Structure 1
Amino acid sequence: MSWVVVPAAGRGLRFGAEVPKQYLPLLGEPLIAHTLDRLLAHPRITGAMVVLAPGDAHWPGWRDRVGKPVLTAPGGGERADSVLAGLQALPATVADEDFVLVHDAARPCLARVDLDRLFERAGRHPVGGLLAAPVRDTLKRADEACRVVATEPRESLWRALTPQMFRRGGLQRALLAAAAAGVVVTDESMAMERLGLKPLLVEGREDNIKVTTRADLALAAFILSRSGESHG
């Protein structure tokens, strides 16, 4: 059984809404409700630690979802700060060697089959791993004027998704080391990579989208409607 840390301290300024994007209405509920329910519906997830911005007035105050505990902790200025705060706030029953998942609050379309695959494959890997998708588009490198200067090979390139799954103690040490070095890591895998470790890439579904624009929100509603809220 594993806990999941859900960093939700971002303000979503690029979205341009009056409330942070994780609280925007999606099929009659806040977006983050779908995210939490999809995670907590999985039998191998024990509970969720949601990391909030200090003074977050939009959090609905849930103590549980899908019959499982939902705890909260105050976050930091960067994603890595919030993830670290969430790890440190987990119950003492979560041992250093236990796997913990980290999942974006704004990814409400996670499928159960992806969680099954992540637990099965990354759970047997010495480092841990993350959901990811192979890059399928042609990649262009641009100059300052947005002119193409090169076409980049896409072989062996993947897009990092979430959840990402690592042992509690190892991930805490990796995030602390990055912070001490003044490095802002953009995901948990990057923190582990800095220590010379090689997380496992586990191919996930392309519809595990992160909502960053209004078009994404409409697409998420379509995906969830098509899935019938069946959690994969």
Structure 2
Amino acid sequence: MSDSPTIVAVVPAAGIGSRMQADRPKQYLKLGNKTVLEHTLSALATHPRIARVIVAVSRNDPYFDTLPLAHSDWLIRVEGGTERADSVFNALQYVDDDEWALVHDAARPCVTHMDIDSLLEVVQWPDVKGGILATPVRDTMKRAQAGSLPLHVAHTECREDLWHALTPQLFPASLLKNSLREALNANIRITDEASAIEWAGYRVALIDSNPANIKITRPADMPLAAFYLNQQDTVCE
């Protein structure tokens, strides 16, 4: 629609990903002939509603400039911060206040355009200030006893109304900038963009996501992500 705001994708990619036990950050591991980060950035850049993509990488990152898409005209590189929230805040300085920021994990290469389409619908919803992709909790949830060795169950959590927060997460850029700034200044622990918006007192919509939108955190996630990407390619052929 002609009155729809401009959408700018923001990708924090300054993390190390130590749980992968690899020789480089997980976003630079190969899935087929591309890195995880290349798959992620390409999925965003090829969406027709996304005007440009901003990626935040660490100052001394030796890998990013070697990527074929590193100097694409749709891509802006900025310096990442110590924490995710710092990287996102730095990237938001390149997003105009009247635009919307769609923040997506670098290690979620399997996001689909269909899911992004669903998320973008929240722009037209007057009673919320943005939304996130998420999936309802389906498994029984256990709370571990803090400090126990060996680790054991403290109690079972009720899974009713619990959701796994995923990305992308979509908010008005000016609201997200202000919420992140105020939360960081107040030393509030920000685990995702929605937590800053929630802390500021605004409602965030939950948009049911395709479960294939996994985040790569451990070695076993790599073949699963490769499978999902292959499935997507097969469907598009």
Q: TM-score per shorter chain, which class? A: over 0.9
- Tell me which stretches of 4 or more aligned residues in structure 1 moved more than 6 Å: none
Q: Which whole-Å CA distance do the structure 1 matches of 2:234 and 2:182 have between them?
A: 39
Cα pair 1:52 1:73 within 8 Å, conserved: yes
What root-mean-square deviation, in Å, do the aligned CA atoms of Structure 1 and Structure 2 show?
1.6
Q: Which whole-Å CA distance do the structure 2 matches of 1:212 and 1:186 have between them?
A: 15
The Cα of 1:28 is off from its aligned counterpart by 0.9
1:84 counterpart residue number = 89
1:139 counterpart residue number = 141
**1:110-149 pair list within 5 angstroms:** 110-120=111-121, 122-125=122-125, 126-143=128-145, 144-145=148-149, 146-149=151-154
Q: Which whole-Å CA distance do the structure 2 matches of 1:20 and 1:229 have between them?
A: 28
Q: Which whole-Å CA distance do the structure 1 matches of 2:235 and 2:195 have between them?
A: 32
Cα pair 1:32 1:106 within 8 Å, conserved: yes
**1:186-201 pair list within 5 angstroms:** 186-201=191-206
Cα pair 1:130 1:165 within 8 Å, conserved: yes
Q: Which runs of 5+ in 2 are unaligned?
A: 1-5
TM, length-normalised to structure 2? 0.90
- Secondary structure (helix, strand or coil) at the match of 1:17 reads coil
The Cα of 1:148 is off from its aligned counterpart by 2.2
Counting aligned pairs with the same residue, the percent is 43
1:28 counterpart residue number = 33
Q: CA 1:106/1:124 → structure 2, altered by over 3 Å: closer, same or farther?
A: same
The Cα of 1:149 is off from its aligned counterpart by 2.7
- Once the two structures are superposed, what CA deviation does each residue of 1:18-66 show, in whole Å capped at 9, x if it has no partner? 11110101111111111011111110001110000011110035122xx
- Residue type matched to 1:141 in 2? R
1:207 counterpart residue number = 212
Q: 1:99 and 2:104 equivalent?
A: no
The Cα of 1:147 is off from its aligned counterpart by 2.4
- Residue type matched to 2:106 in 1? A
- Secondary structure (helix, strand or coil) at the match of 2:92 reads helix
Q: Which runs of 5+ in 1 are unaligned?
A: none
Using the TM superposition, name which of 43-52 and 53-62 deviates more. Answer: 53-62
The Cα of 1:136 is off from its aligned counterpart by 0.5
Q: Which whole-Å CA distance do the structure 1 matches of 2:62 and 2:233 have between them?
A: 30
Q: Which whole-Å CA distance do the structure 2 matches of 1:78 and 1:230 have between them?
A: 37
Q: Which whole-Å CA distance do the structure 2 matches of 1:229 and 1:69 have between them?
A: 26
Cα pair 1:80 1:184 within 8 Å, conserved: no
Q: What number of residue pairs does the alignment pair up?
A: 224
2:185 counterpart residue number = 180
- Once the two structures are superposed, what CA deviation does each residue of 1:90-137 show, in whole Å capped at 9, x if it has no partner? 1xxx431321100000000001110110011x2123401110000000
The Cα of 1:230 is off from its aligned counterpart by 6.1
